Chain A
């Protein structure tokens, strides 16, 4: 039904009732015509404030985004409808598009919550980071990404990352430099760290998804349930099946099921089923 693919997309437009005879193109045109022609869908101060906050924060969870949306509308006395966040973001995105920027939505592999990130669409490579990182730092980031993508559990240990500096082609990094770089990457929200192991941050996955799909097309795992790229996931043990499911997607899919079975081959799902995590928002409450 939706005219966008179900991989992490630009925050999609609302699903309004459509006549079955309309093609995808006319549906998109109708939505666009509505957006352009209707004065109430122009960019206003509330949109600008939302965008400015996104520029400062980089990535926020869905609950925070909803609270921010409400705050922006109330501050600028704009009509506020709680279920119209996606429309609101659509308007911002239509104006960001010429600058190859978008606010995109994606799921955290840790808690399964939806996040919104302001991303740069122009670069097809990690050169988007080149204004902040030196060449050898970018090389090490690429190596870390290699380790994470090709790993079974979607993690890279600090030891493995340190060892990978041996094979660097740009200026080699000392242990202390590597550790400093890793903490910068975590601070800048490219990587997440837990107990000495590094994973790709939610923002990183949202922003680099097209790059990762292209660069690692032979290695990258895709979640059978939500169709997005997957790093921290469970794998069906059936050698002829081998489908992957994100940990949070496992939690949601198998919730309440007494005997979990693979959705693809029906074999018994042998892994421990995690709990569905409750939202714990970044917003002030």
Chain B
């Protein structure tokens, strides 16, 4: 990341005086970050020009976009340490403005996926269009395969043993044991790439010999993928009414999208 200009020394020292009771005085790695109160944020804002706040918001937005390009979640600790820095006393305001920018400019939603560790991802807020885009996207085949995996997991109640997924892929002529023409190392893509991106969870089943894992939906899938749409597709595939899968139908239609984790609430993802 580039070196950003710090605010003038007089300003930062007055800020430090105010933030002294919130954070450690030295710019340490393991600064314990306490959320500033509304009045503290208000006081902090009064000491800064609108241009300064806008600039800092823009830096936060850029940081997120770079991380999100690789589908890596952003940790609040890293965000504060590397970008927010001396503006940490108005952190909630900056994050609020960044979220507004993501929504209004990019059609993205800032979602908190881990309330304990304070991690964020950007999720697509635009509705899935009926017609396909005229632009060929390189990620499309991977998404197709991922969707197949997510469908299997969802239809089977939310958790499946890994063998079921490997067998499903084999049926789709994507053998995890062989190097695939399009996907390369299939096993790595599914158990590493999709997991790091938070599309899937790949968890070891205890007391299994040889070691076995199970797959679940990841937090990004929860936020981005519509269970209702999966059920709809299943209905078309099997020429059945989606309602015939009563359990899945209930799950797909019980949660309105707004109840998914957002920046203000700290709800954990529903299963």
Interface residues of A (CB under 8 A from B): 43, 45, 48-49, 51-53, 55-57, 60, 64, 67-68, 71, 74-75, 95-96, 98-101, 122-123, 127, 130-131, 282-284
Contact = CB atoms under 8 A, between A and B. Distances in A.
A45 B58 contact: no
A101 to B, nearest CB: 8
Interface in B45-66: 54, 57-58, 61-62, 65-66
The 3 A-B pairs of least Cβ separation, nearest first, read: A48-B107, A67-B134, A283-B134
B126 A53 contact: no
A43 B107 CA distance: 10
8 contacts: A55-B65, A55-B106, A57-B135, A75-B131, A95-B105, A122-B62, A131-B1, A131-B66
B257 to A, nearest CB: 16
A254 B231 CA distance: 60
Contacts of A127: 2
Interface of B: 1-2, 54, 57-58, 61-62, 65-66, 69, 101, 104-108, 124, 126, 129-139
A75 B105 contact: no
B252 to A, nearest CB: 23
Nearest to B104: A43
A98 B101 CA distance: 10
A188 to B, nearest CB: 11
Contact of A51 (B58, B69, B105): B105
Contacts of A53: 133, 135, 137
A48 B137 contact: no
Given A48-B126, A52-B124, A43 B135 contact: no
B131 A71 contact: yes
Contacts of B57: 98
State the main secondary structure of chain A at its contact with B.
helix
B234 to A, nearest CB: 25
Nearest to A49: B126
Contacts of A99: 58, 61-62, 65, 101, 105
B62 A284 contact: no
A72 to B, nearest CB: 9
A49 B107 CA distance: 7
A283 B135 CA distance: 5
B134 A48 contact: no
A283 B107 CA distance: 23
Given A51-B106, A99-B58, A122-B2, A282 B135 contact: yes
A95 B57 CA distance: 13
A283 B136 CA distance: 7
Contacts of B129: 49, 75
A95 B100 CA distance: 12
B74 to A, nearest CB: 13
B2 A68 contact: no
A282 B136 CA distance: 7
A43 B62 contact: no
Contacts of B134: 64, 67-68, 71, 283-284
A103 to B, nearest CB: 12
B130 to A, nearest CB: 8
Nearest to A65: B135
A48 B2 contact: no
Contacts of B58: 98-100
Given A43-B104, A51-B105, A98-B58, A56 B137 contact: yes
